[in-house]
Amino acid sequence: MAADDPRILLFDIDGTLVSTGGAGAVAWRQAFEELHGIPADIGKFTDAGMTDPDVGAKTFEAVLGREPTAHELAQVVQRRLEHLPEAVAQSEKYRVLPGVPERLRQLSRDGHLLGIITGNGDGAAYIKLARGDLMRWFSFGAYATAGVDRAGIVRRAVERGEAMLGANVPNDQIYVIGDTPLDIQAAHAVGCRAIGVATGHFDAAALREEGADHVLETLEEELPLG
């Protein structure tokens, strides 16, 4: 890749880079039990690809029968983060997904700018990636905050990537790599290209149906960056 023709590559975390083996749900359950006396199961009320604040809010509403106040939502998100390091460290099913370390190293060495776009808060993102020694490949990112949807997260990441490069980058040279239809929708909402990776809850056919520009079975495959 020519130095004057940079690509910005924005990676989702859960189902794309790593699987925590349910550690996130364990930490949510502990947070709800401690704060509200209910060991809530987020899997009953939320879908893959949702942001942490949305997961917390929808679960709160389902188990407590009302919407949380802003402070209540902040508290449950914060308490969940408190328990996440132990949950991730103790997860027997945590794994870095196939081809990820090798692919990130190759893309970085090829001169591409790698960033994170995730529905996790920044602290949760770091915890999930640190066990797999993957944070080393990402020099910037955009993370979930209350009131910001996934398209907004992508927009923030694009702005930060362009700031690092000191130049505007054409949209056809900015790629979102993720495992859910929500990642694809967010990429296209911002005008970026979307690469689906079928290592999460959705197979290749579902990602193609959503309109992914390219679909990979795993990150063992080369990214189509033409």
Q: Residues 6, 113: contact at Cβ < 8 Å?
A: yes
Task: Give the single-character DSSP code of 67.
Answer: P
Predicted confidence (pLDDT) per residue in 128-186, tens digit: 999 999 999 999 999 988 778 999 999 999 999 999 999 999 999 999 999 999 999 99
3-state secondary structure 7-20: CEEEECCECCCEEC
Q: What share of the chain is helix, strand, coil (3-state, %, to 5)?
A: 50, 15, 40
Q: Who wins on pLDDT, 2 or 212?
A: 212
Mean pLDDT of all residues belonging to the chain: 93
Q: Is residue 2 classed as helix, strand or coil in its secondary structure? A: coil
Report residue 2's pLDDT band, with 50, 70 and 90 as the boundaries. Answer: very low
For residue 173, count other CB atoms closer than 10 A to its CB: 16
Measured distance CA(128)–CA(63) in Å, rounded: 26
Report residue 4's pLDDT band, with 50, 70 and 90 as the boundaries. Answer: low
Measured distance CA(68)–CA(101) in Å, rounded: 39
Predicted confidence (pLDDT) per residue in 108-134, tens digit: 999 999 999 999 999 999 999 999 999
Which of 132, 153, 106 shows the shortest CA–CA distance to 7? Answer: 106
**From the centroid of its chain, how far is CA 80?**
17
Cα–Cα–Cα angle for 177, 85, 70, rounded to 5 degrees:
80
